[in-house]
Amino acid sequence: MVNLGGNLHTIYLFTKGYPNESPIPFWKILSGFNPATYWYPNATRLIPFTIHEFPSYSYVVADLHGHVFDIPFVLLTLALLFMFFTSYKKILHSKFLILNSIILGFMAAVHYMTNAFDGPIYILLAVIIFFFLFGFSVKFFINTIVLLVSFVLFTLPFSWYFKPFVSGIGVNCSPKFLTNIGKIGPFLFEAGNCQISPLWMLFILWGFFWVSFLIFLVIRNKVSNNVTMKQCNNFLLVLFSFSLFLTIIPEFFYIKDIYPAHFRANTMFKLGYQAFTMMGIASIITFYLLKNIKKSIIYYLLSIVYVIFLFFPFIYPYFSIPSYYGQLNRKIQLDGQVWLKESYPEDNEIVDYLNKNEKGQPVILEAQGDSYTDYERISAFTGLPTVAGWWVHEWLWRGSSDIVGKRIPEVVTLYESNNINETKSLIKKYQIKYVIISRLERQKYPNLNEKKWSKIGKLIFRSSSGFGALYQINL
């Protein structure tokens, strides 16, 4: 469910469809089975100006962002929390109680360094579980302090250099008297920032989980009374409740970033991703619990309801994967470099040369472009730093466009200037070792001066087509 499931949006397979970014309530356009009108990304962009992705979608589009990298660590943290929750009485008076909090602090640090939002999310979940187990007691405060201190210590090598892009916590739909104030502490009150998610859209996204949660509440006391099962049920109650809380937060607050119209998109995206993961696990275990209650009318009714709602998220990959790979004649594979071989064979040869012969981390110069374009492809496939990356992504994570914004014209100068001294000065400034001149560079910089690079450095590689060249700087 977590890795392959979707949401109730697949109900639009049985409608006439709707224009992208202009969703229509499904009951107004119901028809027969009509898969030709279904566009799978709409399941992650249903609510206007927001993002609400889930792992299955990430896999289809081969997403390598931090929220995807963090999935195995998230599952490990949830497993550790479950083990602690169901066995804490056995270690209540032992040194392993504190050790557990240290391990959870380490895992929270991994989350924070992998995908910043996830660190606070799982710290808060751990603290809630501490409270559930210990109440306001000495053990609660000791374990919470150990958790937080461990988190700070384990993240210190990273946090020492990392500056979060968050500039405040925005309050959605702030009243006028607060927008006149503008800011109180970390809270921002911005005029015009008011987006309310329609309830029916929220139901499309989270309806399966809501139904599963309600079924769980109905049956949780009808399942076996043994201690282990009770603890399991209490853990599921925490997961469901905490996930519901995460999905509600973006209706009231948002983390301030650089996007004006999509001001709550990242908040809903990152919180919703974790809510999907936790409720995905809890929902399927609910089905297992449902199968183990006494067979009665309630059992059959709840089972039918559950299966009906499970059907829609269950079929999502059946349509999303062929939609992306089949219609575009893409072969499903794990080698991400195949695309480069087919689209930019000369660049692929340069990448292979650098990967084989360069063992360090020198700076390279290549054409600069914006997000979700083919630019910065040499840096992406070699791991070598480049002078200027995707502009908007750099802007987002640095909190300002100044750094990369000032570098972009300098990259133009490096490629187009006939002034050798000016070029050498910029090379020293950025400590550039390699210069790439290939198809994208020739397209991006029409006044590109390739001859000067033979004077500043030397040609060390040229592609078989003769179109791609790699120069090594000798200064």
On whether both 147 and 267 belong to a single domain, the answer is yes
Q: Give pLDDT, residue 327.
A: 59
On whether both 127 and 153 belong to a single domain, the answer is yes
pLDDT in 10s for each residue of the chain, 475 residues: 999 999 999 999 999 999 988 899 999 999 999 998 899 999 999 999 999 999 999 999 888 899 999 999 999 999 999 998 888 777 666 667 788 999 999 999 999 999 999 999 999 999 999 999 888 998 899 999 999 999 999 999 999 988 777 789 999 999 999 999 999 999 999 999 999 999 999 999 999 999 999 999 999 888 766 777 888 899 999 999 999 999 999 999 999 988 888 999 999 999 999 999 999 999 999 999 988 888 889 889 999 999 999 999 999 999 998 887 775 566 667 788 888 999 999 999 999 999 999 999 999 999 999 988 999 999 999 999 999 998 888 887 777 788 889 999 999 999 999 999 999 999 999 999 999 999 999 999 999 988 899 899 999 999 999 889 999 998 7
Q: Give pLDDT, residue 161.
A: 86
> Would residue 7 count as lying in a domain?
no
Beta strands 363-365 and 432-437: pairing type?
Answer: parallel
On whether both 91 and 149 belong to a single domain, the answer is yes
On whether both 457 and 392 belong to a single domain, the answer is yes
Single out the residue in 283, 299, 323 at which a domain terminates. Answer: 323
Q: Can you give the chain as a three-state secondary structure string?
A: CCCCCCCHHHHHHHECCCCCCCCCCHHHCECCCCHHHCCHHHHHCCCCCCCCCCHHHHHHCCCCCHHHHCHHHHHHHHHHHHHHHHHHHHHCCCCHHHHHHHHHHHHHHHHHHHCCCHHHHHHHHHHHHHHHHHCCCHHHHHHHHHHHHHHHHHHHHHHCCCCCCCCCEEECCCCHHHHHHCEECCEECCCCCCCCCCHHHHHHHHHHHHHHHHHHHHHCCCCCCCHHHHHHHHHHHHHHHHHHHHHHHHHCEEECCCCCCCCCHHHHHHHHHHHHHHHHHHHHHHHHHHHCCCCCHHHHHHHHHHHHHHHHHHCHHHHHHHHHHHCCCCCCCCCCCHHHHHHCHHHHHHHHHHHHHCCCCCEEECCCCCCCCCCCHHHHHHCCCECCCCHHHHHHHHCCCHHHHHHHHHHHHHHHCCCHHHHHHHHHHHCEEEEEECHHHHHHCCCCCCHHHHHHEEEEEECCCCCCEEEEECC
Q: Give pLDDT, residue 330.
A: 62
Residue 377's domain comprises 338-473
Q: Give pLDDT, residue 228.
A: 76
Q: Give pLDDT, residue 272.
A: 97
Beta strands 169-171 and 183-184: pairing type?
Answer: unpaired
On whether both 314 and 342 belong to a single domain, the answer is no
Single out the residue in 323, 353, 386 at which a domain terminates. Answer: 323
Q: Give pLDDT, residue 445.
A: 95
Q: Give pLDDT, residue 91.
A: 65
Stated pTM of the model:
0.88
On whether both 287 and 369 belong to a single domain, the answer is no
Q: Give pLDDT, residue 318.
A: 93
On whether both 115 and 223 belong to a single domain, the answer is yes
CA distances from 412 to 120, 422, 429, 447 (A): 41, 12, 15, 9
On whether both 299 and 393 belong to a single domain, the answer is no
On whether both 296 and 375 belong to a single domain, the answer is no
User: Are 150 and 106 a contacting pair, CB within 8 Å?
Assistant: yes
**Count of domains observed in the chain:** 2
